[in-house]
Amino acid sequence: MMDHLAGKLYIVGVGPGSHDHMTFRAKQVIEESDTIVGYDTYVGLVEDLIKDKEVYRYAMTQEVERAKQCIELAMEGRIVSLVSSGDPGIYGMAGLIYEVLAESDWDPKSGLEVEIVPGVSALNSCASLVGSPLMTDFAVVSMSDLLVPWDIIVKRVEAAAQGDYVIVIYNPSSKKRIHQLQDTRRILLEYRKPATPVAIIKGAYRDSQSVVITDLENMERFADKLGMISTVIIGNSSTYNFKNLMINPRGYTSKYSLQT
């Protein structure tokens, strides 16, 4: 069993970026912590909450180092908050922390105390800006093929397309990743109409926020709106555009009359 002092590790989701959309619990544990660790951009989101704390900032590619340092600091008896945007359990650091702990003889009941503090993920925050696109079953797919082979991502896109899921796309493109979203669009056009509504949301609830409502046919015209802080929501066969909002019927129309 790992020896440890009475430290604690919080894995904290701070939401999309504005404090208004951070949970009460997230603010509470950051206040309680004496040490903050995180990717530099994410630490910047809570800058005003961590003035009197020891802060370790990391570059984007140092995930394993970040995870190990968090655990080591907490094992030394510190109260550590590992901060990330969105929810740490959705494409976040929670998995890596538990992988590192699982490789040791850590016991969740008697070893280092770890708590995940969930946050508003991009799928929640972005959907809230464009109407009601997630009222029925939806699938979430990341276009990043750094850790998942591209052929597996293609299989998942095809399955979601065949299943008529609304699709939320994380990490749609980067400077080095251009073809992934283009390939996804081509697959979807085999199953969906060109007029299927598409929302491209960049920097939700940040100063840089921009929102575009388009469709499958025209979405490539907005390549400048894509990047690592962008999310794409692609409707299913029921989704429609109403005054620049994506509406996905909950199914009530088939069960109830909405007419008064």
pLDDT digits (tens, 9 = 90+) for 107-139: 999 999 999 999 999 999 999 999 999 999 999
88 occurs within a structural domain:
yes
213 occurs within a structural domain:
yes
Of 49, 6, 8, the C-alpha closest to 26 is 49
pLDDT interval class at 1 (50, 70, 90)? very low
In this structure, what are the phi and psi dihedrals at residue 73, rounded to the nearest 5 degrees?
-65, -40
- What confidence tens digit (pLDDT) does each residue in 59-97 have? 777 788 889 999 999 999 999 999 999 999 999 999 999
Domain that holds residue 54: 8-120
- DSSP class of residue 19? G
Tell which of 104, 120, 136 closes a domain.
120
- Domain identity same for 25 and 85: yes
255 occurs within a structural domain:
no
In this structure, what are the phi and psi dihedrals at residue 220, rounded to the nearest 5 degrees?
-70, -15
SS3 at position 36: strand
- What confidence tens digit (pLDDT) does each residue in 143-202 have? 988 889 999 999 999 999 999 999 999 999 877 777 889 999 999 999 999 999 999 999
- Domain identity same for 108 and 135: no
CA–CA dist 227, 219 (Å, integer): 14
What is the pTM for the complete model shown?
Answer: 0.90
Q: How many independent structural domains does the chain possess?
A: 2
What CATH number corresponds to the domain at position 179? 3.30.950.10
- Domain identity same for 32 and 65: yes
- What confidence tens digit (pLDDT) does each residue in 204-242 have? 998 889 999 999 999 989 888 887 789 999 999 999 999
- Domain identity same for 116 and 176: no
Tell which of 120, 150, 180 closes a domain.
120
